[in-house]
Amino acid sequence: MPSSEDARIRFATPADVPNILGLIRELAEYERLLDQVVADEAALQRALFGERPFVEALVSIVGDETVGFALFFHNFSTFLGKPGMYLEDLYVRPAFRGQGLGKALLTEVGRIAVNRNCGRMEWSVLDWNEPSIRFYESLGAKPLSDWTTYRLTGDALQSLGRSEP
CATH number of the structural domain spanning residue 74: 3.40.630.30
pLDDT at 6: 80
CA distance 67 to 95: 9
Q: Are 121 and 99 within 8 A, CB to CB?
A: no
Q: What is the pTM of this model?
A: 0.90
Q: Is 86 a catalytic residue?
A: no
Question: Is residue 151 very low, low, confident or very high in pLDDT (cuts 50, 70, 90)?
Answer: confident
Of 30, 91, 136, 150, catalytic = 136
pLDDT in tens, 24-68: 999 999 999 999 999 999 999 999 999 999 999 999 999 999 999
Question: What's the half-sphere exposure (Cβ side, CA atoms, 13 Å) at 105?
Answer: 33
Question: Which domain does 75 fall in, by range?
Answer: 4-162
Share of residues in the chain with pLDDT > 90 (%): 82
User: For the chain, what is the domain count?
Assistant: 1
Q: Are 109 and 87 within 8 A, CB to CB?
A: yes
pLDDT at 152: 87
